[in-house]
Chains A and B, each alone.
Chain A
Amino acid sequence: MKKNLLSEIIKKKENKEEFAIITNIANGESCIFEKNKTLDKNFEKYSDQINSYFEKTKSGMIENTNIFVETYIRPIKVIIVGAVHIAQYLVDYAKSLNFEISIIDPRGYFANKQRFPDLKIINKWPDEAFKEIETNSSSALIALTHDPKIDDPAIQHALKNKFYYIGALGSKKTHENRCKRLREAGFTDDQINFIHGPIGIKLGGRSAPEIALSIIAQLVLETHNKQ
């Protein structure tokens, strides 16, 4: 692989672009594939197969050829609502998992650069904040304030935009009340049952890092379940 190809790949990853690295293992040549862009001449005859691998987000050797395809997809967007203590541990765990994290919290004393360096922090109420983030069925929501004023609008946004994971912190009682409010707001039982509440898989712990671990474990599990 050429050094300039490597820098180009890294730039694309930083920009969260979707692409594939194509390598001919018989002659050492490699190039970048992008949808709707002209493919390097040396790889033209494999264009259909490469396209099909890319569409299926598949990586591997194309059968009966010397061509290796490695597909890169955008990292999953995770939106944390509530820049609370648990969120600090969550961000720490998530670092090695390649999630693209944004934090929403209208309370500036919680969500600030000092508590969350190198992260996208939106100091706005959820309705305003979501105008700044493009979300879809590949997005995940972790609601941690257990304050209905902040969590509820975020959960409603996530339900409407069919997030693949929605989790909300709070006791069973808090969650029951939340469900009641969502029902009154017109959401169906199927939608409401989709919310993980109380959030996280049962590990037994109650400290902030343990709760964060149980949330991140559930998020990874649901990410694979979606595939």
Chain B
Amino acid sequence: MKNSFDEKILEEANDWIKANQKVVLATVIQTWGSSPRQVGSRMIVNEKGDFSGSVSGGCVESAVVRECVGIIKEKKPFKKIEFKVSNESAWKVGLACGGEIAVYLEEIN
């Protein structure tokens, strides 16, 4: 019964869209090691940088928000980003737990 405990982020995305906001959906598509959130975990971000949901335990959310706002500004419809602890910016946005994650960003248009 995997995935039964749904977090209703898509429903929230739909509400934001109905309120005329631009929404980017961020989804964890791959994990390696002890990543904090499982595949399928989601977060949404609007053009102002407001966000809901999560793709980690708070470790990389700020970077994801920046990337999502960038997607809206640059009119790039999708992008894949990866976070590793060995990343050169690890001291800023790396995963403290030592895991790695890949996050797929897509604008809902």
Q: Write out the residue numbers on chain B whose beta carbons fall within 8 Å of the beta carbon of A10.
A: 10-11, 14
Interface assignment of B1: CB less than 8 Å from any CB of chain A: yes
Q: Write out the residue numbers on chain B whose beta carbons fall within 8 Å of the beta carbon of A138.
A: 1
**Number of chain B residues whose Cβ lies closer than 8 Å to a Cβ of chain A:** 26
- A-contact 0/1 string along B1-24, CB 8 Å cutoff: 111111010110110010000000
Shortest C-beta distance, B92 to chain A (Å), equals 25
Whether B1 and A76, one on each chain, are in contact in the complex, defined by CB atoms closer than 8 angstroms, is yes
Interface assignment of A73: CB less than 8 Å from any CB of chain B: yes
- A-contact 0/1 string along B78-109, CB 8 Å cutoff: 10100000000000000000000000101111
Whether B109 and A3, one on each chain, are in contact in the complex, defined by CB atoms closer than 8 angstroms, is yes
Q: Write out the residue numbers on chain A whose beta carbons fall within 8 Å of the beta carbon of B106.
A: 1, 23, 28, 30
Interface assignment of A209: CB less than 8 Å from any CB of chain B: no
Nearest CB in chain B to that of A5: its residue: B108
Whether B4 and A61, one on each chain, are in contact in the complex, defined by CB atoms closer than 8 angstroms, is no
Q: Write out the residue numbers on chain B whose beta carbons fall within 8 Å of the beta carbon of A70.
A: 27, 40
Main secondary structure of the interface of B (DSSP, over half): mixed
CA distance A98 to B25 in the complex (A): 21
CA distance A3 to B40 in the complex (A): 19
Interface assignment of A6: CB less than 8 Å from any CB of chain B: yes
Shortest C-beta distance, B102 to chain A (Å), equals 8
Q: Write out the residue numbers on chain B whose beta carbons fall within 8 Å of the beta carbon of A97.
A: 5
Shortest C-beta distance, B78 to chain A (Å), equals 4
- Interface set of B (CB-CB < 8 Å, partner A): 1-6, 8, 10-11, 13-14, 17, 25, 27, 29-30, 39-40, 77-78, 80, 104, 106-109
Whether A28 and B77, one on each chain, are in contact in the complex, defined by CB atoms closer than 8 angstroms, is yes
Whether B39 and A73, one on each chain, are in contact in the complex, defined by CB atoms closer than 8 angstroms, is no
Shortest C-beta distance, B91 to chain A (Å), equals 28
Q: Write out the residue numbers on chain B whose beta carbons fall within 8 Å of the beta carbon of A23.
A: 104, 106
CA distance A2 to B109 in the complex (A): 5
CA distance A10 to B1 in the complex (A): 20
Binds B, one of A31-39, A52-60, A82-90, A144-152: A52-60
Interface assignment of A223: CB less than 8 Å from any CB of chain B: yes
Nearest CB in chain A to that of B42: its residue: A70
Whether A73 and B14, one on each chain, are in contact in the complex, defined by CB atoms closer than 8 angstroms, is no
Nearest CB in chain A to that of B38: its residue: A59
Q: Write out the residue numbers on chain A whose beta carbons fall within 8 Å of the beta carbon of B25.
A: 1
Whether B108 and A1, one on each chain, are in contact in the complex, defined by CB atoms closer than 8 angstroms, is yes
Interface assignment of A133: CB less than 8 Å from any CB of chain B: no
Whether A6 and B3, one on each chain, are in contact in the complex, defined by CB atoms closer than 8 angstroms, is no
Q: Write out the residue numbers on chain A whose beta carbons fall within 8 Å of the beta carbon of B11.
A: 10, 13
Cβ 8 A contact of B29, one of A6, A25, A71, A72: A25
Whether A6 and B1, one on each chain, are in contact in the complex, defined by CB atoms closer than 8 angstroms, is no
Shortest C-beta distance, A198 to chain B (Å), equals 25
Nearest CB in chain B to that of A98: its residue: B6
Q: Write out the residue numbers on chain B whose beta carbons fall within 8 Å of the beta carbon of A220.
A: 5
